[in-house]
Structure formats: C-alpha cells, structure tokens
Chain A
Amino acid sequence: LAKTTQPISMDSYEGQEVNITCSHNNIATNDYITWYQQFPSQGPRFIIQGYKTKVTNEVASLFIPADRKSSTLSLPRVSLSDTAVYYCLVGSITGGGNKLTFGTGTQLKVEL
C-alpha cells in the first residue's frame, strides 16, 4: 500500500487560496489519488480524485505532476467552513477491493 505524507496542519485566512501537498513516492501504476474532507464527528467526504495532470471540480483542483509522486490539492478562496481535516489517499478500490489507507491528514484552520 502506498504511504502518503502531508503536513500535519496549515493556517489560512478567508478568501485566500490554500494548497496542500501530499507526497506518495511509491504510488503504483493502477493507483488513483483521492482527497477527502472531514469535519469533527462526521465521516470523511469525497472532494476530488485524479490519476494524472490536472482535475478541477466545483470545489477544488488537483494537480498531479508527470511522475505522480506527489499531488497538490488547491482550495480557491477558502472560508471559515473549510476548516477541517483533509486526507490524501493513494490506492485502488476496484478489482481486489478496498485497500485504501488513510494517513494522519492535514488540519486546515481558516480564520477571519
């Protein structure tokens, strides 16, 4: 299983762009990169997923370089409600089933 490394915590202010980088040096060919958001006492919520290059949806962008050994989650113009823990996962849940491992996550704190 691919191991991920991400910062333990980050601070930001409302309206700023936040970039959280995740390192995954031993990513396998079939692995996807997925980011989840979790609020206290709730289950993680899917944010975005990608395999290579850049993916964008209505809430975030995911940048993946050609070697795929790292990825960056970009949250544009954060607000107080974006204060949460963000998890980077690398793996696959098709074929042989769920083999995803959650790391320690990044606690993002957004202030006024």
Chain B
Amino acid sequence: KAGVTQTPRYLIKTRGQQVTLSCSPISGHRSVSWYQQTPGQGLQFLFEYFSETQRNKGNFPGRFSGRQFSNSRSEMNVSTLELGDSALYLCASSLPTAEKLFFGSGTQLSVL
C-alpha cells in the first residue's frame, strides 16, 4: 500500500508569491491534516479536512488555506509569502476509526 505522497519535495519562492502544495493520502484514508514545522516553533497544526470539509483549524493567518477533493487528495495554499513561511510542510492522513496519523515526507519550502 502506497504511503502518503507529498509534492513537490522542495520549493523555492520569493516574498509576495503564492504557493500550492499537494498531498495524496493513503488509499481509504479520508482525513488529511497539515502541519508546519520550523526549528523555532516545532510542529504546528494548520488544519484538517475530512470528506472535503475543513473540520479543525489551527492558529494561522488567513493566508494559509486548504481544500480537499472528492478523492481525498488535499492541497494547501499560502498566499503573499513571507520569509517566516520557510518551513517543512507535512501532511498526514488517517482513518476515521483509527487513532494513528500517517505522515508524508513533507515539502521543504524556502522563501527568499
């Protein structure tokens, strides 16, 4: 069974641009969560989607948004990039009846 796939693996953008990251969950997993990881703040929860609906949201500005498609694939978008948005963005999927998250390898975003 394929794991959680995140694309692209690396991304370099400049301030003010926007970026879209993609996540394909494990087959059968309908919940997808996004996390931001930085050396200073650690792993921070961004939001979670289940059956195309945002179910939970972390404490991030509106520049961070996401969506989920009918096949459970998810995208997150960051608009008007700032230097502080440089981070490893992780996606995790899970079954609704399981207490376990499966993470992808992440997208390393660098904002110059």
Contact = CB atoms under 8 A, between A and B. Distances in A.
Nearest to A87: B43
A53 interface: no
Given A42-B105, A43-B106, A46-B102, A98 B45 contact: yes
A97 B32 CA distance: 10
Contacts, number: 70
B50 A100 contact: no
B45 A94 contact: no
B7 interface: no
Interface residues of A, number: 24
Given A41-B106, A98-B48, A34 B56 contact: no
Interface of A: 32, 34, 36, 41-46, 49, 87, 92-94, 96-105
22 contacts: A34-B99, A36-B101, A41-B105, A41-B106, A42-B106, A43-B91, A43-B103, A43-B104, A43-B105, A43-B106, A44-B43, A44-B90, A94-B99, A96-B55, A96-B56, A97-B31, A97-B55, A98-B33, A98-B55, A99-B56, A102-B44, A105-B43
Which 4 pairs of residues, A with B, have the shortest CB-CB distance? A43-B103, A102-B43, A97-B55, A98-B48
